[in-house]
Structure 1
Amino acid sequence: MAEADNGAAAQAPQVRMRILGQYIRDMSFENNLARKPVEGEVTPDIQVQVALDAKKRPADNQYEVLSKYNVTSKNKATGETLFLLELEYVGIFLIENVPDEQMHPFLLIECPRMMFPFVRRIVADVTRDGGFPPLNLEVIDFIQLYRQTLAQRQAAAQASDAPKTLS
């Protein structure tokens, strides 16, 4: 019986993923310190927001995954914005042998995970070249991000389905 199980497992198609291309779709960096220097000691408070999207491309088994990063650094003491970085980074992937019901999480978890080292490098280079210490983004838990996004969508769907009352 164990031999039959091993044979079945060996014949299951192996998931294949290959990055066909990556590029910056859009990027903006605003250095507010260059325009208006901050007086006194500066203690940065950095906030990172991430949004993901994916779509099928016309070619077989090809998908486009978009990751949007919004990085804001503010002075903790005054709340003044030090810099703002907006980055849209796209990866084009060839993905084979992923079941349809698993494709959505695969695209929004595994693909961004593969692109993240490149995004991290871009953010570090841009912040350094913009006159700040290089910002090395913390590793992002894309599984948790996916779960949060699903929960937010479900909550929004439930709120729109709720009966409306007239005041």
Structure 2
Amino acid sequence: MSENGNGAAAEQPQKQLKMQVLAQYVRDLSFENILSQKGVSGDVQPDVQVQVKLDAKKRNVENQYEVVTKLNISSKSKETQDTLFLLELEYAGVFNIENVPEDQLHPFLLIECPRMLFPFLRRIVSDVTRDGGFPPLNLENIDFLQLYRAELARRAEQPVENPN
């Protein structure tokens, strides 16, 4: 048996992608139960609004990146538009990522990494709203690809500022 076999195995045109979640944590959390602060009670039909922002940055260690998903969730009464609660959450993950082509790294960080963390983020939101005296809020899945494309489109529409 020869070392190369048929010769095809000796060639590796592309190294295999490696992605490892090294850590995940709540970076910031704020929950305000405005409904109970005002002393309002009774059945209230909530209107929940969720805003999502993403951020990613290179860490000082080779191949390590921090990705942060920032949620702003507000719940208002459908009838009176009074705010019921406000939830702000920054959930971060530290990733070791290897063998992603440079031109694909940015979308990878802002699509695939948040997708990996989303189940944990969803659980925190559910627990915090339940512990805050409301029915648990079970977030719908977030389409991170659509979110990324929308951000690229928004940036493309912004006027370029003249540095002079």
Is 1:66 equivalent to 2:58 in the alignment?
A: no
Q: Write out per-residue CA displacement over residues 26-82 of structure 1, whole angstroms, 9 at most, x where no aligned residue.
A: 000000111113366411000000000100011110000011000100001110000
Aligned to 1:87: 89
Structure 1 residues 148, 28: closer, same or farther in 2, change over 3 A?
Answer: same
- How many angstroms apart in 1 are the aligned matches of 2:9 and 2:39? 68
TM-aligned CA deviation for residue 105 of structure 1? 0.1
Aligned identity (percent) is: 63
- How many angstroms apart in 1 are the aligned matches of 2:61 and 2:91? 20
> TM-score, normalized by length of structure 1?
0.88
CA root-mean-square deviation: 2.0
Is 1:121 equivalent to 2:87 in the alignment?
A: no
Is 1:100 equivalent to 2:102 in the alignment?
A: yes
TM-aligned CA deviation for residue 160 of structure 1? 3.9
- How many angstroms apart in 2 are the aligned matches of 1:95 and 1:142? 18
- How many angstroms apart in 2 are the aligned matches of 1:8 and 1:130? 59
- How many angstroms apart in 1 are the aligned matches of 2:46 and 2:11? 52
- Flag structure 2 segments of 5+ consecutive residues without an equivalent: 1-5
> TM-score, normalized by length of structure 2?
0.89
- How many angstroms apart in 2 are the aligned matches of 1:17 and 1:56? 14
AA at the equivalent of 1:33: L
* Structure 1 segment 86-165 matched on structure 2, within 5 A: 86-156=88-158, 159-160=159-160
- How many angstroms apart in 2 are the aligned matches of 1:150 and 1:9? 37
- How many angstroms apart in 1 are the aligned matches of 2:69 and 2:11? 34
